[in-house]
Chain A
Amino acid sequence: DAGVIQSPRHEVTEMGQEVTLRCKPISGHDYLFWYRQTMMRGLELLIYFNNNVPIDDSGMPEDRFSAKMPNASFSTLKIQPSEPRDSAVYFCASSLRGAGSSYEQYFGPGTRLTVT
């Protein structure tokens, strides 16, 4: 299995630009999570989906952030407009629930976002 795939791995953009981060979860997984990691705040859950439906978006910092999951194999996290304080590493993770689930979340390699 290829694992969770994220693109791009690195993104440098100017303040005010739109940024789109992409994630392909592990095939068959029914939960998808978006996290943000910074030195100051650590690892924060932004939003998670179950069967493509957003379940909890209470961690999304503000309206500039939006996330979608149009199908079971693809999700996006969009920031519009971006600001320097959005600079962080963004992780996508997926997991499988159901009988016998290990509840393990499998993380992608992350996207390092730098907003200048």
Chain B
Amino acid sequence: AQSVTQPDIHITVSEGASLELRCNYSYGATPYLFWYVQSPGQGLQLLLKYFSGDTLVQGIKGFEAEFKRSQSSFNLRKPSVHWSDAAEYFCAVGAPGTASKLTFGTGTRLQVTL
């Protein structure tokens, strides 16, 4: 069975600082990987996804993520955080070829201080 672990429940960073949110997955092969963001009172929005190829993927809002097979990780990064990035971030894994059923991590809440 596929699973996702986001070890950090809550992270606080200063505006302008760099950010890295951790995600580790468990799957028998290379899965499809996703990062979603949820602003308060809103649904989830896709930031980026990885299917194959280049292990560094670029997403919206200046985010990027790197797939590391050896570490079963798909960490999300941003070089300079803006106050508007404060939200909850979810990593998700899906079976390759279909991704019909996604398994989400428990989320990391990001707080940005000015």
Which positions in A face B, CB cutoff 8 Å?
Answer: 4, 31, 42-43, 45, 48, 50, 55-56, 91, 93, 97, 102-110
Contact = CB atoms under 8 A, between A and B. Distances in A.
Contact of A107 (B32, B43, B105, B107): B43
Contact of A42 (B42, B43, B100, B104): B104
Interface string B17-55: 000000000000000101010000111111001010000
Contacts, number: 48
Interface residues on B, range: 20 to 34
20 contacts: A43-B90, A45-B102, A48-B101, A50-B100, A55-B100, A56-B101, A91-B43, A93-B44, A97-B100, A103-B49, A103-B51, A104-B46, A105-B102, A107-B36, A107-B44, A108-B43, A109-B41, A109-B42, A109-B43, A110-B42
A104 B43 CA distance: 13
A67 to B, nearest CB: 15
Interface string B75-112: 00000000000000010001000111111111100000
A77 to B, nearest CB: 15
Contacts of A42: 104-107
Residue among B34, B49, B99 having the largest count of chain A Cβ atoms under 10 Å: B99
Which DSSP category, helix, strand, loop or mixed, fits chain A's interface? strand
B55 to A, nearest CB: 18
Nearest to A55: B100
A104 B49 contact: yes
Given A103-B32, A107-B36, A109-B43, 7 more contacts: A43-B44, A43-B90, A45-B103, A56-B101, A93-B44, A103-B94, A103-B99
